[in-house]
Structures are given as C-alpha cells and as structure tokens.
Structure 1
Amino acid sequence: MLIHPQIDPVAIQIGSFGIHWYGLMYLLAFVQFIVLGRLCIKRPYYQALGWTTKDLEDLLFAGVLGVVLGGRIGYSLFYMPEFYLANPLSILKVWEGGMSFHGGLLGVILAMVWFARRQKTSFWTVSDLVAPLVPFGLAFGRLGNFINGELWGRPTDLPWAMVFPLVDAIPRHPSQIYQLLFEGILLGLILWVYARKPRRLGQVSGLFLLGYGICRFLVEFAREPDAFLGLLGLGLSMGQWLSIPMILFGIYLLNRK
C-alpha cells in the first residue's frame, strides 16, 4: 500500500508571496505548447499558410483565456449551477478551485474560432494543429492534481492502491496518475504520430475527441465522483456523460467524407 507524499502545494515561497505547484504546471503546459507548436508549424502545410511563431503565441494567448474562462464557467454550470447562480460573484474566485476540462474545451473551441477567422483559414486547420499539443499539457495538469492530493480515486485493493491521508485511511486508486498516463502521455504520443502524415481536415481533431473521450470515460470508473454530485443516470459520473458527445463527434469526424 502506498501513501500519498502530501507535498506542500506551494512550490516557492518568497515572503508572503507563494507560487503554487498547480500554477507551475499550467506554466509548463503553455511552454510545451510553444515548443511543440513550433515543430508543427514547420510542416509543409502550415509553412504554405505562412504561419509564424507570433501566430502561435497569439493562438496560445487566446487559448489560455479560453481555458481559464471556459473551465471556470463550465465548472459552475456543469457541477454546481445552483450554488453559483445564487452566488454569481463566487465564479470569480478561481483561487478557491473548481475547473472543468469540458468547459475549458468549449472555451478553447471559441478561441480557435476567433483565431481561424482572423487568419482567414479553416477552423479544422487550427484545431488539427492544436489537438496533438493538448494531451501533454493535460498531463502537467494531472500531475498538479496529484501533488495537491485532489481528484482521488475510489477504494481498491490493487497492489498500487494509495492512501490519501488528508481524505481518509482507505486505499484508493491514484486516478490522477491514470489520467496523466492515458489522457496525457499515451494520447499525446498517439496523436503526435498520427498527425505527422497528411490527414483530411478534422481527422486529427476527431482522433483527439475520440481518444480523450474514451480515456476519460474509462478512468472515471476508478475516480471518486464529486461528493456534492455523486453518480448520475445509469450510474455514470458527470465526467462520463460529458465525454459521450466527444466520443460520438470524434467518430463522426474520423469517418466523414
């Protein structure tokens, strides 16, 4: 049985100012976007469009706004609508936690729509560039979840079960690590290899939606549902219900003519 190391969530303390591990994970996610994105725009298709590092940085800036605003608003609407409708100013209190991947995804989609219009190019041209860069960023985010000891898993007796002392003394799935490995590293590698060959517009995006949706759906069986929400219809969690449209639309994008 493993014990969660209970790492101090503050990575660097300078006087009264503290830099949290989770904030550093976001920073690393954005850095990897630029580093890998520069490799992507060197491909002939994007070179022909005249894309530059400046365009990539503008896309990242728009994407960051989409992630933060969409993630926060999505969490408020998907997970705790009654509370936030009664306390709308609490939506601004991002330091209290509460971000939704699916809400962040919608925010990023809006950012890509804006960027595609600015570039006068297809939305799928933008999303196919972004899709292989997202999972590695998600991996950093899940590492941040693990360091914070949040989003823990359901009870289990597997050899790698982990006790989260701040929660209870019950051995649980380290579901943050599952998500890091499958939604992050594995999906990222698959997409990176898949995107290296010319694909029909939308197919790389479709593979991301399908791959993430399947990984998230399966990992949710090991992840403890939110206490205030529990399981919903058919015994599925909110994360699973929100992943089903991703899977279906991903299949459509991969198979459309």
Structure 2
Amino acid sequence: MIPLQIPSPSSGGFFLGPVEIRYYAICVLVGIFVAAWLSRRRFVQRGGDADRFDTIALIMVVVGIIGARLYHVITDYQLYFGPGRNPWQAFNIRSGGLGIWGGVMLGGLAAWALARRYRFSFGALADAIAPGLLFAQCIGRLGNWFNQELFGRPTDAPWALYVDPQFRPDGYETVATYHPAFLYEMTWTGLGGFLLLWAERRFKLGRGKLFTCYVIWYTFGRFFIEGLRIDPVNYVGGWRLNSYVSLIGFIGAIVLLVWQLRRHPGYQLWPFGFPAPQGGLVPARPR
C-alpha cells in the first residue's frame, strides 16, 4: 500500500436505533447550514430583513434539493429505470445523487421569483448567496468520500484514494487507488469561496456580477475534474454530459460578465433596504 494514500472510510453512516444516519446527508446539511449562515449575514449587511431571508432560504433549499435530485435522476436515468432497477430508489437521496446543476437552476428560479415578489434586485440576492454556495459545495463533496463515489481515474500518486473492492467500477476490479476527484473539487470550491469574498471588495463587484464569477469559477474547475472521473454516466460524442454543461455554462457566464461590466458597473446602493447598516460593505458610486 502507498504510505500517504487517502484511506477509504470505515463506514458510510451509523444507526440511531433502527434509523440509519448517512454521513453523506450530514455533510450536505452542514454545507447548507454554513451557506445559509453566511448568506443571511451578507443579506442583512446590505440592508435586508433577517426574517425575510430565512423564508427565502428555506424555499430555496427545498426547491434546490428537488432540482438537484431531478437533474441527477434525469441525466443518470439508467441507474433507476430498466431491467433489474428499482425506480423507488430515485427518491432515496441519503445514499448520494444530487446534481449541482439542477440545484442551482431550480433554486435560482425560486430566488428570481422571490426577488420579484419582495421587489428587490435578483442580482443583489444572487451576489449575497454566491460565496456561500461554494462553501456548501466544498463541505457537501466530503460526503462523496463517505459513499466512496465520484472518484477519478486510477493513479499511484502519493495522495491517491484507496477504494474498497465493492465500490470499484466495472473493468477496474483489480485497481486499488484512484484520483480523489472529490478532494480536488473540495479544494477548488473552498478556495473559490474565499476568492469571491476578496474579489467583491477588491473589484467592487455587484449587480449580479459576483454570482456570474461564481459560475465562471465553478464551471472552469468542474470541466477538468469531470474529465478525470470514471463513474458510469451518459456520454455524448465521447464527452460526459456534465462536461458539456460545464463548457456551455463557462462560455455563457464569460459573455454575461462582459455585458454586466459594460451595462451595470459598480454596486447597487443598499438594494435590500435603508438606511445602510453599520459595518457593511461600502458600495461603489454607481456610474
């Protein structure tokens, strides 16, 4: 065995009486809590009402989880439908299977509708939650380690991930160590969260531009990480489906950011309420 390799977890959960608690679910919930806490704080700093954000966050989390699960089931339908498959497993999210793309898209749609309902800027709301999303993704990816899933190609690097035989894909039964794709994405998203917080102040990003930077950062890293993964998914023209989604999202976000920089420079002046709270960000004067 390689001395520095990442070991496989001893178990994927534990029991409280007859109920199994999955570590994957705990990681997802902790990530949601951290994102909600940070986003709430940023929302209030910009003049927003804390109770109103709690309502928004609850709706976005529920809708986002539904969207994430739907995306996974639709794009990996062969895991749940067909000969020998149990369609009811499509409702079992404790064992993994959440597609971030679906969560962001459906959760974003809910945020847009709520922003219209409460009559404030959707871009400002998206900016408030963008860094928290990356931190939530960072923490949530740890759950993939507990499930021994979403790892990359075989490698003998010192940081290789050891995978138990029962979790190895078909054709790799004799290969013990793989690229820890979950760790690469954890590092990328965690670094991205701090980078967004810094860039917001350094470059006076606002009016939806910070969220666009979130999309650029995540899709750029995900494209290369996706190319490492060997878990069974649907391919189109030799590429994994999520590789196309990453590339399209990255290009679209670059075009959108250029448009935003030209059309809407600077911050919005306390978009959620007045007066500006003490200790909040100092907005750039709109041009």
Question: Under TM normalisation by the shorter chain, which class is it?
Answer: 0.7 to 0.9
Following the alignment from structure 1 to structure 2, what is the Cα–Cα distance between the partners of residues 126 and 254? 17
Task: Show structure 1 runs of 5+ residues with no match.
Answer: none
Change (3 A) 1:106 1:81: farther
Task: Work out which structure has the larger RCO, using CA pairs closer than 8 Å and 6 or more positions apart in sequence.
Answer: 2
* Higher helix fraction (1 or 2): 1
| Contact 2:30–2:139 under 8 Å retained in 1 | yes
Is residue 240 of structure 1 aligned with residue 237 of structure 2?
no
| Equivalent residues in 2 for 1:68-217, closer than 5 Å | 68-80=65-77, 84=81, 91-95=90-94, 97-166=96-165, 167=168, 168=173, 169-182=175-188, 184-196=189-201, 198-217=204-223
Highest CA radius of gyration, 1 or 2?
2
Q: Which amino acid aligns with 1:171?
A: T
The 3-state SS of whatever aligns with 2:21 is strand
Change (3 A) 1:14 1:89: closer
Q: Which amino acid aligns with 1:164?
A: V
Q: Which amino acid aligns with 1:56?
A: F
Following the alignment from structure 1 to structure 2, what is the Cα–Cα distance between the partners of residues 100 and 174? 18
Following the alignment from structure 2 to structure 1, what is the Cα–Cα distance between the partners of residues 6 and 62? 36
Aligned residue pairs, count: 247
The ranges of structure 1 where at least 4 consecutive aligned residues each deviate by more than 6 angstroms after the TM superposition are: 85-88
Is residue 33 of structure 1 aligned with residue 35 of structure 2?
yes
Aligned to 2:8: 5
Per-residue deviation, residues 1-45 of structure 1 (Å, max 9, x unmatched): 22523231114x2211232211211221122123212431243xx
Per-residue deviation, residues 34-62 of structure 1 (Å, max 9, x unmatched): 3212431243xx21xxx122122112211
Change (3 A) 1:90 1:20: closer
The 3-state SS of whatever aligns with 1:221 is helix
Task: Show structure 2 runs of 5+ residues with no match.
Answer: 263-287
Change (3 A) 1:140 1:108: same
Following the alignment from structure 1 to structure 2, what is the Cα–Cα distance between the partners of residues 187 and 3? 23
Q: Tell me by how many angstroms 1:84 deviates.
A: 4.8
Q: Percent identity?
A: 26
Is residue 222 of structure 1 aligned with residue 224 of structure 2?
no
Q: Which amino acid aligns with 2:64?
A: V
